Amino acid sequence: MGFLQRLFFTVIAFSSITILAQSDDGIEAEIHSLLSKMTIEEKIGQTSLRGTSSRVDGSLSDELKSAVREGRIGAFLNVMNTDYVKELQKIAVEESPNKIPLLFGRDVIHGFKTIFPIPLGIAATWNKDVAKSGARISALEASSVGIRWTFAPMLDISRDARWGRIAESPGEDPFLASVLAKAYIEGFQGEDLKSSTSMAASIKHFIGYGAAIGGRDYNTVIIHNALLHNVYLPPFKTAIDAGALTLMTAFNEINGIPATGNKFLLKDLLRDELGFNGFIVSDWASVTEMIAHGYARDYEHAAELSIKSGMDMEMSTHAYENSIQKLMDKNLISEKELDFLVANILRVKLKMGLFEKPSFPSNEQNVFYKTEYLEAAKNAAIESFVLLKNEDVLPLSSNQTFAVIGPLADAPHEQLGTWTFDGDKEKTITPVDAFQNSSIDFMFAQGLTYSRDKSTELFEEAISAAENSDVILFFGGEESILSGEAHSRANIDLPGAQEELISKLAETGKPIVLVIMAGRPISIMNIIDKVDAVLMAWHPGTMGGPALFDVLAGISEPGGRLPVTWPKDGAQSPIYYNHKNTGRPADQFNYTNIDDIPIGAWQSSIGNRSHYLDLGYKPHFPFGYGLTYTDFEYSDISISSKSIQVNESVEISAKVKNIGSRKGREVVQLYVQDVVASITRPVKELKGFEIITLNPGEEKTIKFTINPKDLSFVTFNDERVLEPGKFNVWIGPNSSSGINSSFELK
């Protein structure tokens, strides 16, 4: 491929467009005027985010009130007492020197009161409307208590099911994550930033947090620039283009430099290349943790490194508060550098109209758990459920009797999932509640009291319930605390004695439906053959029970598709569909099973490829996978042109037909492979998808348009290039099947 044939997009061209779109002369003048009046102490105050842990109500100390009165605090997190919110805000806007309003933040991740499925579950819906409406409802509920800033959405691409925070993530794919990113921003921030129900989003964690070595939380991250741009950056870029107001740094180091003191990330990439002009907040103590990283000598040095990187607001620790003046006295930080941080913070407060209308808790009643919110949460859960296996057992038939068993069958707290602080478990409807509210004949025998329970004491009762029923419904998985921050697992199978109980239940000969509630893919290799159906329900939130009831009973169908590759075992991680081919790719003809190796075999690699002898080369289920209660047939792929120029687009279509006997929802997926390039490209990349619903016998032609820009990628030299050559294309139901064609880019 000749140099001249390549088409270059300079990154600067992209970013300058963004900056222009976001600039506002009035706001900049206002910032300038405020900065000219503010004392250094007040400026430092704006960079300080004070908070308590997510649990503590605390009491409002005089020290805190004085700090606000003197302008020494810019924002709070986790103040959940509405009287305190009112009092603090009142002091800020009436008594502080420049009457700068406070911003109150909280982790409103997948719901405030009405809890939606965990973000990985939302990603499984592949539905931007679900993501957007969930975020909007979260904002409506949270803003009513004065919370106008959420530490969401998390946009960390996650390729490792062992990592606990995969639960909070949009999954492994940059395209799907970008679609969701935009929807989240639109939902949280709403149409009018100045509305009292708009909640500033904080896209997090910038960047690469999901690539922690071995899936161990907080661990080292190494990502080269091409990978950063092609895989980890896209959802952040999309969210910034959609107007995300704030961004949180990551705990991890990336290529040797902690993200919170990383000038390349926070200035060169974020500000200059992506044109971000909101404010950056550190993660909890991530400024001072640069000491443990071995990057900063002490608090003062940590503050200096973060400030020099353009990191605007420090969460929870006090390195900025205690060091900025000293750093200025030593001429290590200039007032101009401090002003840059403060301007970014003021810009967000001004954009949100907080000066004219500071956020106060509203006195509105009945804001939480509205009927329509609960409906939306139920619908989100239904669309998130992924059917992994079904051997003629689902949907259930109403004249059967059921044994409802398992540690997650009636666990209101657990089904809410990770990182929920405000949802009331009393409002949660579990599967057992939902069965009780129906006329279905069922027996409930838990068998295990919680997911890690190893006791077999209650087995007998469960087995007897199974023997006296037609079908066993086993609700297993993980408690909510087994995923999320700092909850990585090396072994991702069903914890406790769940596998043992399932094996015993299988001996009854009754069909078993395994419903998994968990924050990550669970290794089910040991038990999949013992059950007849597997439904992945993630942690489904407040309305998980009714949603599961409807899906099991066939009132609704499971709508989800996997947003992550499902490994056979944690040891296969990281595993992702958009991997590279390698020089020795494995396939069915080039794979050796450990048991097929002759004893005393000659030392040789001949015939062997990139795989594990004991786990093979395939995941258990591919990215994009999910069964339905009907069947779809793909045919007649057609391409508008076999050869296009760089200024042309290409249309690819295929027919999708419902060949089953029920109405069904299908997520039609488009994948592309750049066959030969100047740096190797993934074996497949998702470039489009469409959700359709078809009646039995109905057929639809689904058309995708690929613009050459969609085929561009960033090289090691930081150039975005579009290279001529052959592109393979697939349209199909998941990343490992589909019908294919190809075209040439001239």
Q: Is 283 one of the annotated active-site residues of the chain?
A: yes
Q: Please state the closest distance from residue 105 (CB atom) to ligand BGC, in A.
A: 8
Task: Between 182 and 204, name the residue whose CB sits nearer to ligand BGC.
Answer: 204
Q: How far is the CB of 286 from ligand BGC (least distance, A)?
A: 8
Q: Look at the block and give the residue holding tokens 């290349």.
A: 273
- Shortest gap between Cβ of 316 and ligand BGC (angstroms)? 8
- Assess 136 for contact with ligand BGC (CB under 6 A): no
Residue number, 539 or 611, with CB nearest to ligand BGC: 539
Dihedral of alpha carbons 244, 249, 252, 257, sign: positive
**Least distance in angstroms from the C-beta of 119 to ligand BGC:** 12
Residue count at the site for ligand BGC (CB under 6 A)?
A: 6
Helix (H, G, I), strand (E, B) or coil at 257: strand
Query: By Cβ distance, which residue is nearest to ligand BGC?
Result: 151
Helix extents (H) in 103-262: 119-125, 128-143, 174-189, 225-227, 234-241
The one-character DSSP state at 585 is B
Q: Is 284 in the site for ligand BGC (CB under 6 A)?
A: yes
**CB distance 56 to 29 below 8 Å:** no
Looking at residue 696, its amino acid is P
Q: What CA–CA distances, in Å, run from 601 to 165, 222, 596, 614, 617?
A: 43, 37, 10, 17, 22
Residue 53 or 397 with smaller CB distance to ligand BGC? 53
The contact mask relative to ligand BGC for 102-131 (x = CB under 6 A, - = no) is -----x------------------------
CA–CA separation, 496 vs 332, rounded Å?
Answer: 55
Handedness of CA 177, 179, 185, 187 (dihedral sign): negative
Q: How far is the CB of 420 from ligand BGC (least distance, A)?
A: 12
Contacting ligand BGC within 144-183 (CB under 6 A): 151
State which residue, 148 or 204, has the beta carbon closest to ligand BGC: 204
Catalytic residue from among 160, 283, 422, 532: 283
- Min CB(694)–ligand BGC separation in Å: 40
Q: Is residue 279 within the footprint of ligand BGC (CB under 6 A)?
A: no
Rounded to whole angstroms, how far apart are CA atoms 548 and 434? 8
Based on the shown chain and the rule CB under 6 A, indicate whether residue 314 belongs to the binding site for ligand BGC.
no
Distance CA 681, CA 263 (A): 28
Report the C-alpha gap between 672 and 676 in whole angstroms.
12
Site string for ligand BGC, 468-507 (x = CB under 6 A): -----------------x----------------------
Is the Cβ of residue 485 or residue 719 nearer to ligand BGC in the bound state? 485
CB of 151 to ligand BGC, least distance (A): 3
- Contact characters 388-427, ligand BGC, x per CB under 6 A: ----------------------------------------
Measured distance CA(233)–CA(239) in Å, rounded: 10
Dihedral-angle region of residue 530 (phi above 0 means left; psi in -120 to 50 means alpha; beta otherwise): alpha
283 binds ligand BGC (CB under 6 A): yes
DSSP string for 96-129 = STT-PPPEEEE---S-SSSPPPPHHHHHHHT-HH
The H-or-E segment that residue 514 falls in is: strand 512-517
Question: Is residue 188 close enough to count as binding ligand BGC by CB under 6 A?
Answer: no
- Rounded to an integer, what distance in angstroms lies between the CA atom of residue 70 and that of residue 357? 21
Length reported for the chain: 746
- Which member of 128, 159, 162, 204 binds ligand BGC (CB under 6 A)? 204
In this complex, which beta carbon is closest to ligand BGC, that of residue 53 or of residue 701?
53
Residues tagged active-site:
283
Positions that interact with ligand BGC (CB under 6 A): 107, 151, 204, 283-284, 485
